[in-house]
Amino acid sequence: MTGRQDIPRLVLFPQTAEVNQKDHLVIGGCDAVALAEEFGTPLYVFDEVGLRRRCAEFTTEFRQRYPDTTVCYSAKAFSTKAMLQLVKEEGLDLDVVSGGELGIALSVDFPAERIHFPGNNKSAEELETAIQCGIGHIVVDNPYELDMLREIAGNRKVNILLRLSPGIDPHTHRYNTTGTVDSKFGFTRSTWDEAVATALAAPNLNVDGLHFHIGSGIFEMEPYEKAIEVVLEYAAAIKQKHHLEIRVLSIGGGFGVQYTLEEAPPPIATWAEVIVNKITSQCRELELSLPKLIIEPGRAIVARAGVALYRVGVIKDIPNVRCYVCVDGGMGDNIRQPMYGARQEALVANRVAARETGKVTVAGKYCEQGDILIEEISLPAVKAGDILALADGGAYCVPLQSNYNASPRPAIVFVREGKARLIRCRETLQDLTRCDIV
C-alpha cells in the first residue's frame, strides 16, 4: 500500500482511503476501479466506517463537554433510506426540511420524537403529517407559519422551537448564509417579541426553546459566539418578561469541511470547546439555567465519506487555452460548482501515484458550457477510459441531482471491510418516464 504522505490529496478522501499495489484507489477495502466496473459510472461510493466514526465523534466531543447535547443529523445533506437507517443506529436525532425527507425517515421507522422540522415555507399538509406522527419539534420560521400551526394543531399539543434570525454574517458564500437580516429564514429581530408572545399565548403550542442557523461552510468561531450571545441575551429577556426559561437551544450546523488542501476547518473538538464555553459562560452571566443543546451537522458528517467515480471520455486540448477532460457525469449529479463555485479535488483512481503533467479542466457531458466539475486541477496525463475520483462528494451532490438531458441518476454504494452494498440502483428509462402521460 502507498502511504497517505506520498499522496497529499488522500487527506480529502474517506478515512479508509489508501492505494493498493496496482496503484488503484481503495475505499473501505474496495478497489475503486473494480467498483466502477461492477456498478458502472458515474457511481457514488460512501465509506460506511467513516460515516459512523463521524457520527460518534460529534456525539463524543460535545457530550464530554456538555452532557445534555443532542446531535441532530441534517438530512438535506444526504438522505437515502440506508443513510437515515445508519443515523438511527448511531443514536442521532434527525433534522428534516420537507415532507419528503420526513417520509423517508418514517419509512425506516425513525423514531418520530427524535425528528425536528425546520423550513421557511412548510405546507399545511406537511405540518399535519408532522403533528400526526408526534414529531419532536416543529421549528417555526415566521408569523404566517405560527398562525397556521395554531389553527392546524387544534386540540393537540405541539412542541415547537422559534427560529430567530440573529443578524450575524458567517463570512461564507451568500447562497449559504442564512442568519443575516436579509434572509428568507427565521423571525427578523423586529418580530421576535410578537412571535414569543403569540406562541406563549397559544394553549396548543409548547414553546421549548429557540433555534438559529447562521449558514453553511463556516470556518470561523466568532459568528457562532456572536449568535449564541445575541440569542441567549434574548432568552434572558424572555425570562424577565414572560417568566419562561428556555429548555432547548438549537444552534444549527454549518461546520466547515475541507474541500481543498489549502483550507482546513477547525477539528470538531475545537468547535465543541468554543461553543460549549460560550454557552456556559453566557448562561452563568445572565443567570440562566443551562438548556439542552442541539447541534445539526450534515455536511460535516457526510462530505468526506463520499466519493464520485467517473469514466473519462473525450479529451479536448486547445493549445495555449485549456485542456478539457470530459467525464460521463457532471452537473446532473454534482451541480455544486456551477451553482456556487464549489471547489473539489480529484485523483486518477487507476493511476493514483502517477506524476502530474499539467493543469486541466474537468467537464461534464451535459449540454451546457457551465457544466464544469473542476475549473482547474493538476493531473497525470489522462486518457479515455481512466477512472476519475472526486473527493468530498458526500454532501449535497446526491440530493441536488437532476435528470437534466434525460440522464439517469447514478447508483450509490456503501463500502465496508472490502464489501460493497448497493443502496440505490441506477435509474432506468422506465424510471425517467414513469410519471409521463401521453
Domain total in the chain: 2
* The predicted structure's pLDDT at residue 135: 96
Active-site residue, from 283, 323, 367, 425: 367
**Residue 241 domain flag:** yes
**Residue 326: all three cell numbers together:** 470530459
Residue bearing cell 450546523: 253
Question: Above 70 in pLDDT, residue 180?
Answer: no
H helix intervals, 295-363: 299-302, 336-340
User: Quick one: how many helices (H) and strands (E) in the chain?
Assistant: 12, 20
76 shares its domain with 172: yes
Domain containing 313 — which CATH number?
A: 2.40.37.10
What separation in angstroms does the CA of 275 have from each of 59, 87, 220, 270, 377?
A: 14, 23, 12, 8, 36
* 83 and 36, same domain (yes or no): no
367 catalytic, yes or no? yes
Residue 169 has pLDDT above 70, yes or no: no
pLDDT of 185 reads 86
Mean pLDDT of 224-251: 95
d(CA 345, CA 335) in angstroms, rounded, equals 15
CB within 8 A of 398, min separation 6: which ones? 44, 78, 80, 306, 333, 412
Q: With respect to residue 438, please indicate whether it lies within any of the assigned structural domains.
A: no
- Whether residue 42 is predicted with pLDDT greater than 80 in this model: the reply is yes
Here the cell at position 192 is 421576535
DSSP for residue 403:
-
Cα(111)–Cα(306) distance, rounded to whole angstroms? Answer: 26
Residue 106 lies in a domain: yes
Cα 356 to Cα 379: distance, rounded to the nearest angstrom: 5
Element (H, E) at 6: none
The reported pTM is 0.94
> What's the confidence (pLDDT) of residue 4?
54
Give the CATH number for residue 108.
3.20.20.10
Domain end among 302, 332, 365: 302
Q: Tens digit of pLDDT for each residue in 360-379?
A: 999 999 999 999 999 999 99
Question: Measured between alpha carbons, how far is 169 from 177 in angstroms, rounded to an integer?
Answer: 7
Q: Which residues of 73-93 are buried (b: 16+ CB within 10 A; e: fewer)?
A: bbbbbbbbebbbbbbbebebb
Q: Are residues 16 and 97 in the same domain?
A: no
User: Which residue range forms the structural domain that includes residue 377?
Assistant: 4-40+305-433
Q: In whole angstroms, how large is the CA radius of gyration of the chain?
A: 23
